[in-house]
Amino acid sequence: MTIPRILVLATGGTIAGAAESATRHDYRPGQITIEELLSRVKELGIPAQLTGRQIANIGSEDMSPAIWASLHAACDAAMNDPECDGIIITHGTDTAEETAFLLDLTLSTHKPVVLVGAMRPATAVGYDGLRNFANAMRVASDCEAAGRGVLVVMGDRVFAARDIRKNRTRGTDAFAGFPRDSVGLVTPSALEWFGAPWRSGEPARFPFRQQLPDVPVLYIHSGITPDYADRLITAETRGIVVCGVGEGNMPDSVRQRLVELAKPGLQVVRASRLGEGLVDREPEDDANGFIAARALSPAKARILLQMLIAAGQDDPAAIQCEFDRR
């Protein structure tokens, strides 16, 4: 049996969190080091060679382009290192889906890349981090995990980066996939994939860039007026994602203001504030010059739009084709 060689890149989050007691609700993410986590993992006796590296130790609300750059560089080097079989990234659950999606767009995943987190801190009774980590090891050791893009393991399920959404603030089953649910089921001793890898041999879709264009998100709510959009847009703004009600809807007055802004070249993407928010193109999107986010959440639609604008794409029809791609 060959022992899988896995690089573990730690960024913090609740999986590395600590509280003053095993039962307290309040705790601080990003408190224990990768060495401490790996020494607890070692006690599980799973055959694997783990090498840890601390990239950051933060709550994932503080994830930044600079940390993304370090993480991307470490993943890229590991992808080209013949001594590495797979990568695990420990991450806070609040923004894990954004980091996973960014890496999914900018890495060629010919080796497994797996993000993992926890909903309960390392000091808590019923800490889910160790089980999730053992599951992540199972996935990162499986050659069939390659060619599925970046994966996220939470609560005995494997999700694709494009689909995963955190949809609960509490509980160990806080994640869902949309429009696909999980792409696999995992325990420390078993792994079942639903279908074959769908991205084998694909190169990275975009080069990684630390500097991305300014693209704010406009949250639509009752009583919103066009000046809310004006307040978000500066001379540097190149696009805006509308976190719309229902199927990406917004009041007429706001739509009119965005039509005026879209004409000189500001890209407008309509997404939905709903957890299962599929937003398809409407006939009026053609006339308005808008783009439909399809199944992407507003946060992920923002990342994809930033990538496309940074790559020099300024044609809404071509941008729409990229949002239509799975």
Catalytic residues: 14
Q: Report, in Å, the least distance between residue 52 CB and ligand SIN.
A: 18
Whichever of 14 and 182 has its CB closer to ligand SIN, that residue is 14
Q: Which of 112, 117, 155, 316 binds ligand SIN (CB under 6 A)?
A: 117
Q: Which of 6, 10, 87, 119 binds ligand SIN (CB under 6 A)?
A: 119
Whichever of 29 and 239 has its CB closer to ligand SIN, that residue is 29
CB 121 within 8 A of CB 17: yes
| 289 near ligand SIN, judged by CB under 6 A | no
Report the distance separating Cα 139 and Cα 187, nearest Å: 9
- Residues 238-257 within binding reach of ligand SIN (CB under 6 A): none
Report the distance separating Cα 56 and Cα 34, nearest Å: 10
215-221-223 Cα angle (round to 5):
120
What is the rounded (10 degree) CA torsion for 59, 91, 161, 219?
0
Q: What is the helix (H) or strand (E) element at residue 58, kind and residue range?
A: strand 49-58
| 297 near ligand SIN, judged by CB under 6 A | no
Q: Report, in Å, the least distance between residue 46 CB and ligand SIN.
A: 23
Q: Report, in Å, the least distance between residue 17 CB and ligand SIN.
A: 7
Q: Which of 10, 37, 55, 94 binds ligand SIN (CB under 6 A)?
A: 94
| Size of the residue set binding ligand SIN (CB under 6 A) | 10
Locate tokens 């995963």: which residue? Answer: 164
Whichever of 110 and 165 has its CB closer to ligand SIN, that residue is 165
Q: Report, in Å, the least distance between residue 235 CB and ligand SIN.
A: 33
- Residues 64-93 within binding reach of ligand SIN (CB under 6 A): 92-93
Q: Report, in Å, the least distance between residue 29 CB and ligand SIN.
A: 4
| 326 burial type by CB count under 10 A (0-12 exposed, 13-18 middle, 19+ buried) | exposed
CB 269 within 8 A of CB 290: yes
54 CB neighbour count, 10 Å cutoff:
16
At a CB cut-off of 8 Å and minimum separation 6, what does 225 contact? 251, 253, 254
| 277 near ligand SIN, judged by CB under 6 A | no
Token pair, residue 148, equals 């599925």
Q: Which of 52, 59, 112, 298 binds ligand SIN (CB under 6 A)?
A: 59
39 CB neighbour count, 10 Å cutoff:
12
Locate tokens 């949309």: which residue? Answer: 178
Question: Beta strand 217-219 with 190-193: parallel, antiparallel or unpaired?
Answer: unpaired
Q: Report, in Å, the least distance between residue 71 CB and ligand SIN.
A: 14
Give the contact letters, 4-43, x = binds to ligand SIN (CB under 6 A), - = no.
---------xx--------------x--------------
Token pair, residue 86, equals 């797979």
| 99 near ligand SIN, judged by CB under 6 A | no
Binding site for ligand SIN (CB under 6 A): 13-14, 29, 59-60, 92-94, 117, 119
